[in-house]
Structure 1
């Protein structure tokens, strides 16, 4: 799949319905002799959102391209990565003015679709770079990863809601070392996260005592993990730079991070989320300890440091 072509098309269209966009993604993948599964386009959109290229509102079924920005990579010696709007000739304009490096993200899982190439710019003067980028419609925003992590709201459950209708097939979340993280048939014996379909769309409710509360997929899972005191985030130190420890963050598969948390981590490197099939973890690289700690706190976790 020509992911950069899809990003260019989205940049020209600007916004639209998620359902239509997923159809376009699947069609473009088939032109490259790929036959994506039903979830592949959704995974692709989540990756593109984490990379800062688009905003995706799953509840309302809408997407919108993000403005073109350049964000500083933590401990990257003056390297910035581009995010947001990227028309077809955009990179050519950049290469005419700056020292540009284009990196194709690695694809380790054949079931996932490739994401757009990562575009880096190296500079010795961020002030001069910001001024020059502004003339071609790109805004320099400093270190977005640190900025997003510092403003992450503490997660909370939603408003009260009715339980699943009588006779509706329900699944509930199980989490633990023995079972991993996943949904199984039936309602929970006590408090916990449930999901069920309404008009073909998954709905999520958290049962707490006698109350049922609205939530979504990611927030509901992290709330359940916190209530069960299950730890799902680990960090390994790799190096020290500018007084901050830099490392690799591992998140258990089955516990997808909310969009802002994922974006804070991905923009530390400009590389989309990678997955380790052996340990069944999502992997984020070049993560400062300070960012890892803030992300974990926002989902009611603490970071386990591993050797």
Structure 2
């Protein structure tokens, strides 16, 4: 991806699956899609699912919150880039843990440390990497609240429709049939999932993640929790938990993932998505952008 720059998502997913099998992985049907979402959240690429295209992001280094000057590498990563960085900085490469061969490991995380931020910025520029400060905070501060789209026609009468069932977010999300009241539904058009939100007699366009969060807010369901782990420079730093049935939009996911530089973790027992090293203000901004409030737990 770093060498080619951009391309077609379907072609890329086929290549990902083929390469995974050469490395003794047996990826499931959805594995390449989840891998791409990890790559997007890590800031390595932009993915346009509706348009079917992807593009690699420019190479940048971003500070992790309360990390004592530690930066994480994001974006384009040509083959010799890490070697170049190791001649200038203290570099640590962390490989993601892989529990299940059905899923694919995200790219390794590259941490960079220097004596000062001025030295960090100057030396990074010399190898074609831009220093961008703390991207996690910057993204969180600019998040817009999720909205439904423009009016649209309802599904055709003979189109099979599924709707989001009340109380189903933690398990099976959709059940057969149109909603009998306001709610989110989905159906196939030319082989692609389309999402509509019904409010009274009106149908509105939406995407999967915004539609889920809108439905949760309308039901007054809170699915975001944050647990304090430590305090650093007058800031509370902790771990954020989100019920797995509620996927974050790409920018919200990126704001949380870039707090640590590690891909989203998943708790099998509690069925939660887990984000570490998240300052409480960042957690609050992300939650408000999806019409939620953070529940602080002990």
TM-score normalised by the chain length of structure 1: 0.95
Paired position in structure 2 for 1:89: 80
Superposed CA RMSD = 1.2
- Taking a change above 3 Å as real, the CA distance of residues 247 and 181 of structure 1, as seen in their structure-2 partners, is farther
Q: CA-to-partner distance for each residue in 1:120-170, whole Å, 9 max, x for gaps?
A: 011230111101100110000000000000000111100111111111111
Deviates more, 1:286-295 or 1:28-37: 28-37
SS at match of 1:263: helix
Residues 1:270 and 2:285 are matched in the alignment: no
1:32 shift after superposition: 1.1
SS at match of 2:118: helix
Distance 1:131 1:90 in 2: 16
Deviates more, 1:109-118 or 1:136-145: 109-118
Q: CA-to-partner distance for each residue in 1:173-232, whole Å, 9 max, x for gaps?
A: 124279646111111110000001111110000001110000001110000000011111
Distance 1:244 1:111 in 2: 38
Paired position in structure 2 for 1:34: 25
Paired position in structure 2 for 1:7: none
Distance 1:133 1:178 in 2: 43
CA contact (8 A) 1:78 1:122 kept: yes
Paired position in structure 2 for 1:56: 47
Paired position in structure 2 for 1:6: none
SS at match of 2:226: strand
TM-score normalised by the chain length of structure 2: 0.98
Superposition map of 1:8-19 within 5 A: 10-19=1-10
Paired position in structure 2 for 1:139: 130
Q: CA-to-partner distance for each residue in 1:30-79, whole Å, 9 max, x for gaps?
A: 11122211111000000000000000011111100000000001000010
- Taking a change above 3 Å as real, the CA distance of residues 147 and 113 of structure 1, as seen in their structure-2 partners, is same
Deviates more, 1:160-169 or 1:73-82: 160-169
SS at match of 1:97: coil
Match of 1:292 among 283, 286, 294: 283
SS at match of 1:13: coil
Match of 1:187 among 150, 157, 178: 178
SS at match of 2:3: helix
Match of 1:236 among 227, 230, 239: 227
Task: Flag structure 1 segments of 5+ consecutive residues without an equivalent.
Answer: 1-9
Task: Flag structure 2 segments of 5+ consecutive residues without an equivalent.
Answer: none
Match of 1:21 among 12, 19, 22: 12
Distance 2:22 2:235 in 1: 45
Q: Would you say how many aligned residue pairs link Structure 1 and Structure 2? A: 298
SS at match of 2:68: coil
Paired position in structure 2 for 1:130: 121
CA contact (8 A) 2:26 2:101 kept: no
